[in-house]
């Protein structure tokens, strides 16, 4: 399955972990060494932040999608005598805002600063890119790029594939304790993930259908609610107040709409929100009905 995945993503190699959560933690805490620097975007998933804290490198957090701040952090660290490797950790599509990272600029910066780039594609794999290979598809195979593809989201399976240069995969196989000392995944998972990758390649109509639904939902939310949408299948509706966000989420759930209220610490204080996540399990009429219900619940739960 790993060989098939490496070929599919056009990477040199791939390594399977039992979850994207574990893969994030395992890869970063194994590869980063004392004397290294890791620069993380402020909006990365909690596990990337925890992994950065747990590893032996110095950690710098920068404002969201601020390429200059990443550059500045690496430059300042070098000037202060930083001699190890610099790492940059980002998501290609942010899980709570649904927006994209400026990957081309960040990759160019990584090259210029001789840094490694770790890209979490949890929410982009299977949805974007040729054959659903993700938003970082054009960066796969580079010697300074590692990409995490969760198999538990659009792929509908379980676990995660980390694509990486072979030398880094070898290092992980021999040094990564969460990989070495955990039971290997069931062969059933290998079959399911291999099949999911084949479906991505062979059934592009699924992505086309989702893209149509996404553009319909984004337009409807803008037209009917005046909310600037994210442009992706993850659409946040910022409420601000924690209790109000949770009350509106509960009311919408009671009406049959499976969307979630998200509070700090998952999102910054003052930005509690409803998180709408579109899948192929819904139709345009469901989206329209949800938006009308949302308008009603925003009114009846007015501040």
Among 73, 135, 160, 197, binds ligand PLP (CB under 6 A): 160
Task: Return the number of the residue (24 or 144) whose C-beta is nearest ligand PLP.
Answer: 24
Does 122 interact with ligand PLP (rule: CB under 6 A)?
yes
Does 97 interact with ligand PLP (rule: CB under 6 A)?
no
Task: Return the number of the residue (49 or 113) whose C-beta is nearest ligand PLP.
Answer: 49
Contact partners, residue 269, CB within 8 Å, separation at least 6:
none
Task: State which of positions 13-32 bind ligand PLP (CB under 6 A).
Answer: 19-21, 24
Task: Return the number of the residue (103 or 298) whose C-beta is nearest ligand PLP.
Answer: 103
Does 128 interact with ligand PLP (rule: CB under 6 A)?
no
Phi, psi of 89 (to 5 degrees): -120, 125
Does 91 interact with ligand PLP (rule: CB under 6 A)?
yes
Tokens of 264: 């700090």
Q: What is the DSSP letter of 35?
A: T
Phi, psi of 161 (to 5 degrees): -110, 130
- Burial class of residue 167 (count of CB atoms within 10 Å of its CB; 0-12, 13-18, 19+): exposed
Among 45, 58, 133, 142, binds ligand PLP (CB under 6 A): 45
Mutual orientation of helices 187-202 and 2-9 as an angle, nearest 10°? 20
- Burial class of residue 228 (count of CB atoms within 10 Å of its CB; 0-12, 13-18, 19+): exposed
Among 172, 179, 138, 135, residue whose Cα is nearest residue 154:
135
* In the complex, residue closest to ligand PLP by CB: 20
CB of 76 to ligand PLP, least distance (A): 27
Does 163 interact with ligand PLP (rule: CB under 6 A)?
no
Residues within the interface to ligand PLP (CB under 6 A): 19-21, 24, 45, 47, 91, 95, 120, 122, 150, 152, 160
């Amino acid at each position: 399955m790993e060989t098939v995945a490496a070929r599919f993503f056009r990477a040199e190699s791939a390594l399977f972990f039992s979850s994207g959560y574990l893969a994030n933690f395992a890869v970063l805490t194994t590869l980063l060494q004392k004397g290294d620097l890791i620069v993380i975007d402020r909006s990365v998933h909690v596990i990337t932040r925890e992994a950065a804290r747990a590893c032996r490198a110095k950690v710098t957090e920068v404002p969201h999608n601020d390429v200059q701040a990443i550059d500045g952090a690496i430059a300042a660290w070098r000037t202060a005598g930083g001699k190890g490797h610099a790492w940059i950790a980002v998501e290609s599509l942010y899980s709570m805002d649904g927006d994209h990272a400026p990957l081309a600029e960040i990759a160019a910066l990584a090259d210029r600063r001789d840094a490694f780039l770790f890209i979490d594609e949890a929410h982009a794999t299977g949805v974007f890119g040729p054959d659903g290979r993700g938003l970082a598809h054009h960066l796969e195979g580079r010697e300074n790029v590692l990409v995490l593809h969760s198999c538990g989201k659009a792929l509908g399976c379980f676990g995660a594939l980390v694509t990486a240069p072979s030398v880094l995969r070898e290092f992980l196989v021999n040094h990564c304790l969460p990989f070495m000392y955990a039971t290997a995944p069931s062969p059933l998972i290998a079959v399911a993930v291999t099949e999911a990758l084949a479906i991505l390649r062979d059934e592009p109509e699924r992505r086309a259908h989702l893209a149509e639904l996404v553009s319909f939902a984004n337009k409807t939310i803008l037209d009917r609610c005046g909310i600037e949408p994210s442009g992706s299948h993850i659409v946040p509706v910022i409420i601000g107040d924690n209790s109000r966000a949770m009350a509106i989420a509960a009311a919408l759930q009671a009406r049959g709409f499976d969307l979630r209220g998200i509070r700090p610490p998952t999102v910054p204080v003052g930005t509690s929100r409803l998180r709408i996540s579109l899948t192929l399990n819904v139709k345009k009429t469901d989206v329209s009905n949800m938006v009308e219900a949302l308008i009603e619940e925003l009114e009846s739960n007015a501040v």
